[in-house]
Amino acid sequence: MQTKLYAVILSALLLVPSASSAGGFCCQMPTGVGTTGSGNTSLRLDYAVSHMERIISGSAEKDIDEVKSDPRFRKMNGVVPDVMDMERFTVSAAYSPMDRVTVNLAIPYVKNNMVMSMFMGGMWRTGTMDTVSGLGDVVLSGNYMIYRDRDVMPARAITVGAGVKMPTGESTVTSSGTKNRVHAHMQPGSGSWDPVFSATYMNMINSDFLLTADANYQIGMPGSLNYEFGDTASLNTSLSYNALDWMNVSLGLNYFHAEQNDDPDNKYNGNDSKRLTDYSGYTGEDSIWLSPGVQFLPFNNWTVDVKVQCPLYTHTPDISQMTDYRVIAGISAGW
């Protein structure tokens, strides 16, 4: 049974901090780095989709019609988002060049869709934006296992990591019709070099239960045209149960925090408070999520997993469109 649970760790190995090109407003939460696999190389493919429709003011959900009658937005060229879907495919590779050390590379491809409304001529006009897609920001990180209770198949281990999110994704995409730059949070990349840090704890409680916990921090540096995404922090914990020989079930609890963005030169309409989609004063969040998941172990050292993240609590400093749910599916193999 213990080797089956190691498959969980193997799959966790590749979850480098995949913090969004888009800071906290949307996109993926940073996920933890893992501990140890049985081999020294592994590959993982992830698909994640975040559906955003709820508009939250403080901690309360607002009806879209109420938002559209808010005098802050009901002005000439005011903007309110209706629905946004952010998809992300990530190919990750992990390689362990020596004992205790792992190097991770995560290459995302993003696809963002948005329906939004603009107030023009005394009425709201709703339209679908061009899909924005392309290479996202690549994350390269290194991890070191600072503690393990034994050298072979440890039951408890602590790993720390540091890396950089690189500005490989485009961050100045314009819409084909208006030629305006699309929203900062809808761009494939942030344009910035962002340091990322992580710490992961793994505890194999017994042959049936595995507990993992990780903490992640990303520093948002000034990027494209001086736009700066806020720093993000996340705390994740998950308990996995080896229900069947070929299947684990898990339940995770996640906390996510994002500082507010800053657009000092107003290059992405970050100073325009009639645009709910862009004003930096409408960014920032604190949220708590529940993440049930299931993991299949079809062959040795292969895993297929699916998890859903549902918000239990969401708070934003002012008003924001927030994620309703996120689905993450992945397949990994190690050797």
Interface positions with Cu ion (CB under 5 A): 114, 116, 129
**Closer of 48 and 184 to Cu ion (Cβ):** 184
User: Quick one: which of 312, 220, 172, 222 has its CA closest to 20?
Assistant: 220
- Taking the complex as a whole, the smallest distance from the CB of residue 35 to Cu ion amounts, in Å, to 40
Instruction: Compute CA distances 106 → 56, 88, 93, whole Å.
Output: 31, 12, 7
**Closer of 97 and 177 to Cu ion (Cβ):** 177
Cβ neighbours of residue 125 under 8 Å, at least 6 residues apart?
117, 118, 119
- Taking the complex as a whole, the smallest distance from the CB of residue 277 to Cu ion amounts, in Å, to 5
Q: Which residue of the chain is nearest Cu ion when measured via CB?
A: 116
- Taking the complex as a whole, the smallest distance from the CB of residue 174 to Cu ion amounts, in Å, to 12
Cα–Cα distance measured from residue 191 to residue 137, given in angstroms and rounded to the nearest whole number: 8
**Contact indicator for 62, 69 with CB cutoff of 8 Å:** no
Buried (b) or exposed (e) across 66-89, using 16+ Cβ within 10 A? Answer: ebbebebbbeeebbbbbbbbbbbe
Q: Determine phi and psi for 225, rounding to 5 degrees.
A: 50, 35
**Closer of 128 and 300 to Cu ion (Cβ):** 128
**Closer of 112 and 250 to Cu ion (Cβ):** 112
Residue type, 166: M
**Closer of 13 and 116 to Cu ion (Cβ):** 116
**Closer of 71 and 177 to Cu ion (Cβ):** 177
**Sign of the CA dihedral running 189, 190, 193, 199:** negative
Only one residue has tokens 């213990």, namely: 2
- Taking the complex as a whole, the smallest distance from the CB of residue 182 to Cu ion amounts, in Å, to 7
Cβ neighbours of residue 214 under 8 Å, at least 6 residues apart?
31, 32, 33, 198, 199, 200, 201, 235, 236, 237
- Taking the complex as a whole, the smallest distance from the CB of residue 116 to Cu ion amounts, in Å, to 4
- Taking the complex as a whole, the smallest distance from the CB of residue 129 to Cu ion amounts, in Å, to 4
**Closer of 129 and 202 to Cu ion (Cβ):** 129
**Closer of 185 and 326 to Cu ion (Cβ):** 185
Instruction: Compute CA distances 152 → 6, 39, 87, 148, 214, whole Å.
Output: 12, 12, 38, 9, 22
- Taking the complex as a whole, the smallest distance from the CB of residue 125 to Cu ion amounts, in Å, to 12
Is residue 325 classed as helix, strand or coil in its secondary structure? strand
Residue type, 186: M
- Taking the complex as a whole, the smallest distance from the CB of residue 321 to Cu ion amounts, in Å, to 10
